[in-house]
Each structure stands twice: as structure tokens, then as C-alpha cells.
């Protein structure tokens, strides 16, 4: 089992609180069956906490209480399962098109007894009308100009997209500005999450959507 460094443990305790054991069990799934079944690359094992789990979980601080969140392209549950563990008040719908990933997600959710998670095998565009949510999340799905048309329609005219991004966030916003406005985006900004917890805060593109 991958051990947390002192810095990672301190961050994990602040983020997950009394649900830290659940987060540890999730990481065990990632480093075993997650690698065996191709959801995570073996080289990522030493960085599972810092680069993946903690990086995703801090996004919870940007989400309002009791929100219904749709996570598009959930893959290995990043960020969807991290948010479900960190925030039991949230309702999470994980949207994932690949059967083997869906099967893995279902196994993990069952093992962790996460009763605030629903999993849908679907492409994002095919999930329209099947999901009610006020927040859509995505990580490592695609560039913002292709991600926006896949995610913003799920909000049905009201809510926000939280897309975890890297250093190219501002450039992606510039390229996607026109399509975001067309889809109902009224404001788009780069924000950070976990600034007081992580050495490297998570960069998030936040798009607020409202009917005009």
C-alpha cells in the first residue's frame, strides 16, 4: 500500500476528516485493481495521493452544500469518487461510457458503501434529460472548447461547470469563449482550490451558466 508522506497525511486529514479511512481504501483500489485493469498507469502509484486524490478532493470547497454533481468521464473516479468521499452531503452522478470502467466504479462504490453515488454508463451527450444537476465536473476529458458542449447542456440552463485544468487554463478559456457564451455561460474564470492545504493548489476553470 502506498504510504502518505507527512504533508499528504496532514492535507488528507483536513480534507476527509473522519472519512479518511474510506479515502485510503479507495486508493488501495486504485493501486491494485485500478492498475490491473488499466484505469491508472503504474507510474502514477507514488503520486496517487498528491497528484490525483488530493488534487481532486479539494475541488469540494468550490461546491455548495447538498448540491447534485454530475461528473463527466469519471474513469477511475477522479474527481467524482473523491468528492463523494470528502462530501457525503453531495449527490454524485458518475457518467462514464466505457463498460470496464463502469464495472470497476460499481465495485468500488459497493465496497466503500457510498450511498450518495449513482453510476450511468453513457456518453455525456446521451445523458441529457437523464441527469439533474447544479454542478458538472470534469478532469482530463478534453480541451475546454470540446468539453463545454459535452458538459454545459447537462446543467439545463442553470448551474456551473468546474473543469480541473493545468497551466493552459487561460489559453483554453480564450479559445472556448465563443462556444461557452453560446451555451449560456455568463462568466468564466480560473480559480484555485486547496491553496491553504496543498503545496500546489488545483487549477479549476469555473463557468457559471444562466438562462438569459
Of 149, 137, 133, 125, which Cα lies nearest the Cα of 206?
137
Instruction: Kindly write down the DSSP assignment for every residue of 170-208, as one continuous string.
Output: HHHHHHHHHHHHHTTEEEEEEEEE-TTT-SSPEEEEEEE
Q: What distance in Å separates the CA atoms of residue 133 and residue 154, rounded to the nearest whole number?
A: 7
**212-181-179 Cα angle (round to 5):** 140
Q: Residue 183 is part of a domain; what is its CATH number? A: 3.40.50.150
Look at residue 147 and tell me if it is in a domain.
yes
Structural domain count, the chain: 1
Look at residue 74 and tell me if it is in a domain.
yes
Look at residue 44 and tell me if it is in a domain.
no
User: Would you write out the chain's pLDDT as a tens digit for each of its 212 residues?
Assistant: 778 888 899 999 999 999 999 999 999 999 999 999 999 998 888 889 988 999 999 999 999 999 999 999 999 999 999 999 999 999 999 999 999 999 999 999 999 999 999 999 999 999 998 999 999 999 977 889 999 999 999 999 999 999 999 888 999 999 999 999 999 999 999 999 999 999 999 999 999 999 76
Residues 59, 193: contact at Cβ < 8 Å?
Answer: yes
Q: Which residue segment(s) compose the domain that 131 sits in?
A: 59-210
Amino acid at each position: 500500500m502506498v504510504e502518505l508522506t507527512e504533508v499528504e497525511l496532514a492535507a488528507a486529514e483536513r480534507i476527509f476528516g473522519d472519512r479518511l479511512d474510506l479515502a485510503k481504501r479507495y486508493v488501495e483500489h486504485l493501486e491494485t485493481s485500478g492498475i490491473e485493469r488499466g484505469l491508472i498507469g503504474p507510474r502514477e502509484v507514488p503520486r496517487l495521493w498528491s497528484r490525483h486524490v488530493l488534487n481532486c478532493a479539494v475541488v469540494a470547497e468550490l461546491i455548495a452544500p447538498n448540491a447534485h454533481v454530475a461528473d463527466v468521464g469519471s474513469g477511475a473516479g477522479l474527481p467524482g469518487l473523491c468528492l463523494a468521499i470528502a462530501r457525503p452531503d453531495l449527490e454524485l452522478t458518475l457518467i462514464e461510457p466505457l463498460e470496464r470502467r463502469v464495472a470497476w466504479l460499481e465495485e468500488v462504490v459497493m465496497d466503500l458503501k457510498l450511498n450518495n453515488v449513482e453510476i450511468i454508463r453513457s456518453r455525456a451527450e446521451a445523458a441529457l434529460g437523464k441527469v439533474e444537476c447544479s454542478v458538472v465536473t470534469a478532469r482530463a476529458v478534453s480541451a475546454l472548447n470540446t468539453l463545454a458542449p459535452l458538459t454545459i447542456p447537462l446543467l439545463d440552463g442553470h448551474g456551473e461547470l468546474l473543469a480541473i485544468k493545468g497551466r493552459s487554463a487561460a489559453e483554453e478559456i480564450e479559445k472556448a469563449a465563443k462556444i461557452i457564451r453560446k451555451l449560456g455561460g455568463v462568466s468564466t474564470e480560473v480559480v484555485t482550490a486547496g491553496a491553504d492545504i496543498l503545496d500546489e493548489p488545483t487549477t479549476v476553470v469555473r463557468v457559471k451558466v444562466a438562462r438569459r
